[in-house]
Amino acid sequence: MSGRPVAWTIAGTDPSGGAGIQADLKVFHALGVYGGSAITAVIAQNTLGVRAIEPVSPAMLTAQLEALREDLSPRAVKIGMLATAHAVRETARVLAGLDAFVVCDPVLASSGGAAFLDADGRRAMIESLLPRVGLLTPNAVEAGLLTGHEVRGPDDVPAVARTLRDLGARAVLLKGGHLRSTDARDYLDADTRVRWIVSPRRDVTHTHGTGCTLSSAIAAFVAHGKPLETAVLLGKAYVNQGLRLGGGIGRGRGPLAHLGWPADERDLPSVEPAGTPA
């Protein structure tokens, strides 16, 4: 145990275990990382959808974050659903005092349309949180909400990713799962290079928690000391493995499998150049 790196997850719950805090901690455990957690909201959801959302009190969120900070120094922090503008600002305040790589999955709405963060929260994210983020992992809808620019297809992705970096994020992985394409095509804008991370699009229904799983897997690999691009590629391989071997739980969109470090070449994504950064 003493040799395990520590990572935190700051997010909402999922009683069905497929997303949120529960999924993040499964990922950390599967990848040999010790996970600490701070709950931002209690969410009643399952594989069929979201039923109710109740943010924790500001005092309780602060108490959780301070308890973690005084006892568990993280190498990486994964941020998921924050629920309120206060939670965004309080998380940014605590991150300012940490020497840890921050992966932020800006969970703004569920795939079924339930709102997870309002306009005030999005403004707080841009103003106070994005400058603390090492990697931002929005999907096309979330990227559009943060920038005000709709992402209709792959041609729109590079400019929107660059806008997100201009807003403060040091790197952006803009996920292409919501875009119409024959493959699953994510766009990584980091440092002075840009590239497409490409995997075959899988015909599966068990996709509950893919965004949570990807961001927490990347954080786990960074906690193990992997360079960012390597962590992204391994994170995608972990998700592909989970999609290939998951499902069978619940009556709706089932969760991914959590089976440790990806080892099957079928799960490794390919990398394609994306030209010169804007």
| Residues annotated as part of the active site | 175, 207, 209-212
- Cα end-to-end distance, the chain, whole Å: 44
User: How many CA atoms lie less than 13 Å away from 197 in the CB half-sphere?
Assistant: 29
3-state secondary structure of 112: coil
Contacting residues for 190 by C-beta, under 8 A, at least 6 apart:
135, 170, 171, 172, 228, 229
Pairwise CA distance, residues 189 & 154, whole Å: 14
3-state secondary structure of 40: coil
> Residue 120, Cα to own-chain centre: how many angstroms?
21
Long-range CB contacts for residues 150-154, cutoff 8 Å, separation at least 24: 151/179, 153/179, 153/180, 153/181, 154/179, 154/181, 154/185, 154/187
230 conformational bin, left if phi > 0, alpha if psi -120 to 50, beta if neither: alpha
